[in-house]
């Protein structure tokens, strides 16, 4: 999925450009999507970096980014200024995205934007798809997409938390012809991961800055969203002023986050679900299991022994 234009890149002192990987004006982020830049034409093999932005926030999407270039371009990449996006100002990050877009013969990048509602539905379903699994799926999807474009990857560098050796073994099993390096702080150590970090961070910031609420009757409070992190006072205040005691929060919030759960339990109206037919249903299946002398004839005829049979 691609967008014609998105929230603007506010690079100071330069012409203002849209962020192409973010939704356009008046476009709500209803579901997850993938954006790909034009495919580079430089001769391979290629190196590729993977990083994310927005793993911890309670608001907005989680964005996985990849950047890739020919192995022969590595020395030039070292001079472009890419680094861990968290150490850079928003103006510098925006300028680096422009750099990433400036040499389409040698530089390619993509992002996978995982919507807040998809994050929550995955974590709340049974069995749950936890955030680590969702992150792995996004990474594998992006790498497969790049390979499907005809790009020959020889080395992939991934920034990751936790037990990196296990994750590296998993990725190597998925793509046995690629050499993987999975490390903590890889965005600081490898410029190609720094480039992926910039792509992910600028995209997430643009999504949050230009967020369009899809709830038609919802009137957002006139307060800042903040960074989206639970520890951010601006985000905390937004959450407190945005909570509707009956309907909860708009879909920008991750309902699987403890911050949201606690606020709903404390400030939300209690809900009691009532099914008037429940008692008779229980009685019918007690009969079906032989727990009731008046066993239902229909369940006996159909051979139904438990509610699971339905």
In 36-130, which ranges are continuous DSSP H helix? 74-78, 90-100, 116-124
73 class by beta-carbon count within 10 Å (0-12 exposed, 13-18 middle, 19+ buried): buried
- Residue 92 has φ and ψ, to the nearest 5°, of -70, -40
* Cis? peptide before 123, omega within 30° of 0: no
3-state secondary structure of 36: strand
- Token pair of 218, please? 């919802």
75 marked as part of a ligand binding site: no
- The CA dihedral of 115, 168, 49, 162, to the nearest 10 degrees, is 60
301 marked as part of a ligand binding site: no
Secondary structure, 3-state, 235-246 = HHHHHHHHCECC
Is the alpha carbon torsion for 280, 281, 283, 284 positive or negative?
positive
52 marked as part of a ligand binding site: yes
220 class by beta-carbon count within 10 Å (0-12 exposed, 13-18 middle, 19+ buried): middle
- Token pair of 231, please? 């520890």
Q: Which residues, other chains included, contact 132 with Cβ-Cβ below 8 Å and sequence gap of 6+?
A: 162
The neighbour count for residue 210, using CB atoms within 10 Å, is 19
- Residue 220 has φ and ψ, to the nearest 5°, of -65, 145
Helix H or strand E encompassing 200 = helix 191-209
Partners of residue 204 on adjacent β-strands: none
User: Residues annotated in the binding site for a divalent metal cation, as ranges?
Assistant: 51-52, 159
User: Residues annotated in the binding site, as ranges?
Assistant: 51-52, 159
């Amino acid at each position: 999925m691609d967008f014609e234009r998105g929230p603007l890149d506010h690079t100071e002192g330069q012409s203002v450009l849209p962020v192409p990987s973010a939704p356009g004006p008046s476009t709500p982020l209803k579901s997850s999507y993938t954006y790909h830049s034009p495919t580079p034409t430089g001769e391979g093999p290629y190196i590729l970096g993977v990083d994310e932005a927005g793993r911890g926030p309670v608001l907005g999407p989680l964005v996985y980014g990849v950047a890739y270039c020919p192995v022969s371009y590595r020395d030039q990449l070292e001079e472009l200024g890419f680094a861990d996006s968290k150490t850079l100002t928003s103006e510098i990050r925006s300028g680096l995205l422009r750099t990433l877009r400036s040499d389409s013969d040698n530089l390619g990048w993509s992002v996978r934007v995982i919507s807040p509602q998809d994050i929550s539905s995955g974590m709340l379903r049974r069995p749950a798809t936890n955030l680590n699994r969702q992150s792995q799926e996004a990474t594998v999807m992006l790498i497969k997409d790049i390979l499907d474009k005809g790009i020959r990857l020889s080395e992939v560098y991934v920034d990751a938390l936790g037990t990196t050796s296990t994750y590296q073994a998993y990725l190597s099993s998925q793509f046995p012809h690629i050499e993987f390096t999975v490390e903590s702080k890889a965005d600081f150590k490898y410029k190609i991961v720094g480039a992926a970090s910039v792509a992910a961070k600028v995209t997430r910031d643009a999504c949050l800055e230009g967020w369009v609420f899809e709830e038609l009757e919802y009137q957002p409070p006139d307060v800042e969203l903040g960074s989206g992190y639970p520890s951010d006072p601006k985000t905390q205040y937004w959450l407190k002023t945005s909570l509707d005691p009956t309907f909860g929060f708009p879909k920008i919030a991750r309902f699987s986050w403890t911050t949201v759960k606690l606020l709903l339990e404390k400030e939300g109206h209690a809900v009691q679900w009532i099914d008037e037919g429940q008692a008779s249903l229980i009685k019918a299946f007690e009969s079906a299991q032989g727990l009731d002398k008046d066993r239902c004839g229909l369940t006996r005829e159909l051979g139904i022994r438990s509610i699971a049979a339905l």
